[in-house]
């Protein structure tokens, strides 16, 4: 009986730890912008909301991040851009300026997760976010999400590998079917059943012993 109680205690402990880890992982991400919509008191100062994203000119797209407290090391910006993006940059809270090229990032028309080490830069709150460095005509920034996170890894999954279509196999119905090779003994099911039966008998004996001990 004591063994059974210990087993239930261990299961409950593992479940509690898993729940705690899930809550911690959830709390580690603070969204400021989600699908173009601000989750706090922030707003668009230069740019506009278009199809669930914020779009603005490459020479000056400005977001008010609502003085969000920097409670995590990294600011993630899901962003894309058109035109020549070599000089793309972001300035956060009028203090920290990040050149995307220096970060090893070349913006394209596909969304990328740009990770800015805001806590390392000494920022304690997020006020203005200015995306600049480009011309105001042919280049357009498109921002989908902005969030703080404990994790510096990209939040975007790598592109899925598309498998090549399988070649069609033509079966000649007139040809005699070949005998399928034997892949295992037919006694497998019987062996598994015997093991299960033996396990049940052993469990019954242990329970009976535990009751007698009480």
What element of type H or E holds 20? Answer: helix 2-27
Three-class DSSP category at 54 = strand
65-82 burial code (b ≥16 CB/10 A, e <16): bbebebebbbbbbbbbbb
Q: What pLDDT was estimated at residue 196?
A: 62
Q: What pLDDT was estimated at residue 214?
A: 56
Going residue by residue through the chain (214 aa), what tens digit of pLDDT does each one get?
554 444 444 444 444 444 444 433 444 799 999 999 999 999 999 999 999 999 999 999 999 999 999 999 999 999 999 999 999 999 999 999 999 999 999 999 999 999 999 999 999 999 999 999 999 889 999 999 999 999 999 998 654 333 344 455 454 555 554 544 443 444 545 546 556 666 665 656 565 665 555 5
CATH number of 27-149: 2.60.120.430
Tokens of 144: 């989908």
- Residue spans per domain, the chain: 27-149
Q: What pLDDT was estimated at residue 169?
A: 46
């Amino acid at each position: 009986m004591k063994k059974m109680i210990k087993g239930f205690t261990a299961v409950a402990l593992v479940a509690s730890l898993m729940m705690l880890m899930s809550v911690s992982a959830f709390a580690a991400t603070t969204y400021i912008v989600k699908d173009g919509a601000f989750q706090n008191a922030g707003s668009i100062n230069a740019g506009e909301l278009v199809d669930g994203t914020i779009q603005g000119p490459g020479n000056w797209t400005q977001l008010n991040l609502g003085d969000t407290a920097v409670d995590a090391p990294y600011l993630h910006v899901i962003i894309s851009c058109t035109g020549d993006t070599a000089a793309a940059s972001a300035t956060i809270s009028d203090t920290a300026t990040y050149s995307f090229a220096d970060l090893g990032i070349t913006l394209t028309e596909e969304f990328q997760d740009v990770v800015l080490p805001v806590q390392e830069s000494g920022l304690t709150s997020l006020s203005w976010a200015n995306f600049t460095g480009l011309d105001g005509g042919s280049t357009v920034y498109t921002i989908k999400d902005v969030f703080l996170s404990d994790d510096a890894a990209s939040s975007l999954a790598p592109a899925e590998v598309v498998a090549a279509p399988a070649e069609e196999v033509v079966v000649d119905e007139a040809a005699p079917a070949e005998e399928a090779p034997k892949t295992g003994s037919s006694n497998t099911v019987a062996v598994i059943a015997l093991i299960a039966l033996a396990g049940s008998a052993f469990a019954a004996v242990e329970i009976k012993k535990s009751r007698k001990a009480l």
